[in-house]
Amino acid sequence: MTSTDKSLPVHLIINPHSGHGGRKRLLSGIRAQCRRADIELIEHTTTAPGDATEYASSIAAQASAAIVWGGDGTVSEVAQALAGTDVPILPCPAGTENLLAHEMRIPSDPHKIVDLIKFGRIVECDVGRVNGRNFLLIIGVGFDGEVVRRLSISRTGHISHLSYFWPIWRTFWEHDFPHMKITADGKEVFDDFGMAFVGNISRYAVGLRICRDAVYDDGLLDLVVFSCHRQHALVFHAAWTLLRLHPLKGNVIYRPFRNLRIETDRPVPSQVDGDVGPNTPLDIDVAPERVKLLVPESRNGWGFWPWKGN
**Residues 15, 51: Cα–Cα separation, whole Å:** 10
Residue 187 confidence (pLDDT): 96
Residue 203 confidence (pLDDT): 82
Residue 302 confidence (pLDDT): 40
Is 305 within a domain? no
- Number of domains making up the chain: 2
* 63/141 same-domain check: no
Distance of CA 195 to the CA centre of its chain: 18
Is pLDDT above 70 for 241? Answer: no
Output the domain CATH number for residue 30. 3.40.50.10330
Residue 94 confidence (pLDDT): 79
**Residues 213, 306: Cα–Cα separation, whole Å:** 7
* 248/144 same-domain check: yes
* 89/158 same-domain check: no
Half-sphere exposure of 236 (CA within 13 A, CB side): 12
* 105/186 same-domain check: no
Residue 299 confidence (pLDDT): 52
Residue 212 confidence (pLDDT): 87
Banded pLDDT at 97 (limits 50, 70, 90): low
The closest alpha carbon to 76, from 58, 57, 60, 100, belongs to 100
Is 235 within a domain? yes
**Model confidence, pTM:** 0.81
pLDDT digits (tens, 9 = 90+) for 287-298: 999 999 999 986
Residue 17 confidence (pLDDT): 77
The closest alpha carbon to 144, from 85, 216, 194, belongs to 194
Number of neighbours of residue 53 by Cβ within 10 angstroms:
19
18-32, 84-98, 187-201, 211-225: least confidently modelled range: 18-32
* 137/87 same-domain check: no
Is 61 within a domain? yes
Output the domain CATH number for residue 234. 2.60.200.40
Distance of CA 260 to the CA centre of its chain: 18
Point out the domain boundary residue: 96, 119, 142.
Answer: 119
* 233/168 same-domain check: yes
* 72/180 same-domain check: no
* 69/201 same-domain check: no
Structural domain containing residue 78: 10-119
Is 205 within a domain? yes
Burial bucket for residue 289 (CB in 10 Å: 0-12, 13-18, 19+): middle
Residue 232 confidence (pLDDT): 63
Is 126 within a domain? no
Banded pLDDT at 275 (limits 50, 70, 90): confident
Is pLDDT above 90 for 309? Answer: no
* 108/165 same-domain check: no
Is 125 within a domain? no
Mean pLDDT of 56-67: 94
pLDDT digits (tens, 9 = 90+) for 155-212: 555 555 555 555 555 565 667 788 999 999 999 999 999 889 999 998 886 667 888 8
pLDDT digits (tens, 9 = 90+) for 35-55: 999 999 999 999 998 999 999
Is 297 within a domain? no
Residue 304 confidence (pLDDT): 43
Is 164 within a domain? yes
Is pLDDT above 60 for 306? Answer: no
* 25/102 same-domain check: yes
Residue 310 confidence (pLDDT): 39
pLDDT digits (tens, 9 = 90+) for 128-140: 999 999 999 999 9
Is pLDDT above 60 for 303? Answer: no
